Amino acid sequence: MSSESLPTFVVVGHVNKGKSSVVATLLEDPSIPIDLVPGTTTEAAAYDFKIDGKSIFRLIDTPGFQEAEATLEQLKMRSQNAGDHQNAIRDFIKQFDGSGRFHDEVELLRPLLQVGPVGLLYVVDASRPYRATHEAEMEILRWLGRPGMALMNRIGPEDHAESWRPVLQQFFSVVRDFNAHEANMEARLGLLATFGELHVDWKEPLKTAMDSFAARAKQRVSASASALAQFLVEAWSHVETMNYTPGSADSGANLEGDKLSSRYEKHLRKLEADARRTVEAVYGFAPLDHLEQNFNLTPEDLFDQEGWRFFGLTQTQLTARAAAAGGVVGGSLELITGGLSFGAGVALGSAVGAAGVWFGSHRVAKHWTPKHTRFAKLFPGQHGHMRAFGPIANDAFAYVLLDRALVHLRVVQHRAHARQGPLNLDDTAGFRVGDMAAAQRKVVDRTLHACQSAGKQKQNPGAELVENLASCLQAFAQGS
Ligand SMILES: Nc1nc2c(ncn2[C@@H]2O[C@H](COP(=O)(O)OP(=O)(O)OP(=O)(O)O)[C@@H](O)[C@H]2O)c(=O)[nH]1
Ligand SMILES: [Mg+2]
């Protein structure tokens, strides 16, 4: 498509009302400069949406109106009647271009004079009341005679749309609500469809663009689900091992156990952080900061048992699972107390679990030492000089990791690309493992148990397991 016939939309409006935010969100491009300081955009800049290197449509971001009333005065001085409005604008640009006067108005008007059809998007902040000074802006835009629409953005919490609407309708045939920081996929595609209505030749290319955005969304869910499945299978099967010299100063069981469990925790945290980065990159974001007050209870403490309450399973479900997992929990109690027989440990573990004292960090995973009768079988060739921690010994903790991953994916998935600041992970309703269909839960359970046995046997859980879990997570994430 030649650049003359490329559907082109110039985004204009008062300074600091969200013009660049509209461009960033529509094009899913977080690199476009956005700032609370007025006058961030100083030059007109064209951004093309491309498929396989071919431009499909173009948005032109512009500086905001700074002196609309004075500009309109200048234009009126150059015009006799409606027949010469565009010439008056041309004269205005010619006179002030490069002079330092009316810099922003010259920059924003120039792209609207280009040859061929050009659409105009007038962005207002409907969280602030309409003021008569905006009328000069709309009057100038009317002089251009371009097909256009008004977008009511909301920067603040108030809503003054009703003071804006009757005025906007006098100048624009289409007036739409569009919140640049909240717009979901449906709102974005809806707006692109409206763009397609502005000119007879634009419908088809805009439809192509919409299909491409929808396909990209699907592909992103699929790539994220694969990354999460890979992470979970690794985390659920991970076993941290440590060699030690018997009789050395720090070979006491507790000291070494602490060292080993903290290495295990560190490894799981790193796996989680890497998976988050991957998902953020899949969605086109540079690594994001995370706001997670509820998500991590003590700062960034994935291993704080209080935090588990927040995730997936209800307290009753957790307690039931704790009872079921008690046998394994008992196994590690034996180590901690030292003197208990395995049988007594199992009994105590079940009792502790059922009582709702869920899982202390020592019980996240089993701590194996050569004292365990199964040690030699699990770690053949190791004779008393190695300890191991893992794999995850209780399902609830495994589910905590899954929930955290799902919540993160959902928040990234719905984040508008204009959005500034950290990712808020505390807004998490309706996207946890507890919301999965029974069949999906079954896949998750099966995968978890396969990972646990693979981990215990020091085997690789296998690509098929990862793929099955990925398909399950993809179906869940797409359905939400
Ligand atoms: N909460 C919220 N803030 C927004 C929204 N749109 C824009 N903002 C904020 O408003 C400020 C200005 O946004 P920009 O997109 O840079 O506005 P602009 O019209 O391009 O500004 P200039 O280039 O300076 O004319 C930034 O701090 C944005 O984060 C929105 O929909 N919701
Ligand atoms: Mg801007």
* Phi and psi angles of residue 375, each rounded to the nearest 5 degrees, phi first: -55, -50
How much distance in Å is there from the Cα of 242 to the middle of ligand 1? 53
Give the three-state DSSP class for 222.
helix
Show which of 167, 201, 235 is a domain's final residue: 201
5 contacts: CB under 8 Å, gap ≥ 6: 116, 201
- What's the rounded mean pLDDT across residues 421-444? 79
From the CA of 151, the nearest ligand is 1
Q: How many CB atoms lie within 10 A of CB 388?
A: 25
pLDDT tens, residue by residue, 228-275: 999 999 999 988 877 766 665 554 555 555 677 778 878 888 999 999
Pocket residues for ligand 1 (CB within 6 Å)?
15-21, 34-36, 38-41, 63-64, 153-155, 179-181, 420
Q: What is the pLDDT of residue 429?
A: 58
Higher pLDDT, 260 or 378: 260
**Which mutation among 10, 29, 34 tests ligand 1's pocket best, with the greatest number of atoms within 8 A of CB?**
34
- Round to whole Å and give the CA distance between 115 and 93: 16
Higher pLDDT, 310 or 367: 367
146 and 285 both lie in a single domain: no
210, part of any domain? no
Q: What is the pLDDT of residue 26?
A: 98
Ligand 1 atom nearest the C-alpha of 15 is 25
1, part of any domain? no
pLDDT tens, residue by residue, 268-315: 889 999 999 999 999 999 988 877 654 433 323 334 444 443 333 334
- Round to whole Å and give the CA distance between 394 and 381: 27
* Phi and psi angles of residue 82, each rounded to the nearest 5 degrees, phi first: -60, -20
pLDDT tens, residue by residue, 145-192: 999 999 999 999 999 999 999 999 999 999 999 999 999 999 999 999
Helix axes 19-27, 185-197, angle to 10 degrees: 100
Show which of 201, 235, 264 is a domain's final residue: 201
Yes or no: say if 392 and 259 are a contact pair by the CB < 8 Å rule.
no
Instruction: List residues bridging with 153 in a β-sheet.
Output: 125
150 and 259 both lie in a single domain: no
- Round to whole Å and give the CA distance between 191 and 11: 13
- Round to whole Å and give the CA distance between 313 and 221: 24
What is the DSSP code string of 107-164?
Answer: HHHGGGGSSS--EEEEEEETTS---THHHHHHHHHHHHT--EEEEEE-SSS---HHHH
201 contacts: CB under 8 Å, gap ≥ 6: 5, 7, 117
Yes or no: say if 2 and 113 are a contact pair by the CB < 8 Å rule.
no
Q: What is the pLDDT of residue 34?
A: 96
Q: What is the pLDDT of residue 458?
A: 77
317, pLDDT greater than 50: no
Q: What is the pLDDT of residue 292?
A: 67
Yes or no: say if 50 and 6 are a contact pair by the CB < 8 Å rule.
no
Helix (H) or strand (E) holding 194: helix 185-197
Does the CA dihedral 397-346-239-302 come out positive or negative?
Answer: positive
Band (pLDDT 50/70/90 cuts) for residue 63 is very high
193 and 224 both lie in a single domain: no
Threshold 0.85, pTM exceeds: no
Yes or no: say if 452 and 237 are a contact pair by the CB < 8 Å rule.
yes
pLDDT tens, residue by residue, 114-140: 988 899 999 999 999 999 889 999 999
* Ranges 33-37, 70-74, 250-254, most confident: 70-74
Domain range for 169 is: 8-201
- Round to whole Å and give the CA distance between 439 and 453: 21
Q: What is the pLDDT of residue 310?
A: 38
Residue nearest (by alpha carbon) to ligand 1 atom 2: 155
- Round to whole Å and give the CA distance between 326 and 345: 9
200, pLDDT greater than 90: yes
317 and 451 both lie in a single domain: yes
196 and 74 both lie in a single domain: yes
How much distance in Å is there from the Cα of 102 to the middle of ligand 1? 22
How much distance in Å is there from the Cα of 418 to the middle of ligand 2? 11
Helices vs strands, H then E, count in the chain: 17, 11
242, part of any domain? yes
How much distance in Å is there from the Cα of 17 to the middle of ligand 2? 8
Helix, strand, coil percent content, the chain, rounded in steps of 5: 50, 10, 35
Q: What is the pLDDT of residue 330?
A: 27
- As to burial, measured by CB atoms within 10 angstroms (0-12 exposed, 13-18 middle, 19+ buried), residue 413 is buried
113, pLDDT greater than 60: yes
259 and 348 both lie in a single domain: yes
Yes or no: say if 328 and 452 are a contact pair by the CB < 8 Å rule.
no
How much distance in Å is there from the Cα of 103 to the middle of ligand 1? 20
424, pLDDT greater than 90: no
Yes or no: say if 228 and 409 are a contact pair by the CB < 8 Å rule.
yes
48, part of any domain? yes
The answer to which of 8-17, 40-49, 444-453 has the lowest mean pLDDT is: 444-453
Band (pLDDT 50/70/90 cuts) for residue 436 is confident
What mean pLDDT is reported for the chain?
Answer: 81
91 and 238 both lie in a single domain: no
220 contacts: CB under 8 Å, gap ≥ 6: 282, 283, 413
Band (pLDDT 50/70/90 cuts) for residue 434 is confident
Higher pLDDT, 319 or 74: 74
180 and 232 both lie in a single domain: no
312 and 172 both lie in a single domain: no
Q: How far is CA 141 from CA 86, 89, 135, 324, 401, in A?
A: 10, 10, 10, 70, 53
176 and 276 both lie in a single domain: no
419 contacts: CB under 8 Å, gap ≥ 6: 181
473 and 350 both lie in a single domain: yes
Count structural domains, the chain. Answer: 2
Q: What is the pLDDT of residue 366?
A: 63
Residue nearest (by alpha carbon) to ligand 1 atom 32: 155
Yes or no: say if 315 and 357 are a contact pair by the CB < 8 Å rule.
no
Ligand 1 atom nearest the C-alpha of 154 is 31
Residue with tokens 């990791």: 401
324 and 191 both lie in a single domain: no
209, part of any domain? no
Q: What is the CATH number of the domain that holds 154?
A: 3.40.50.300
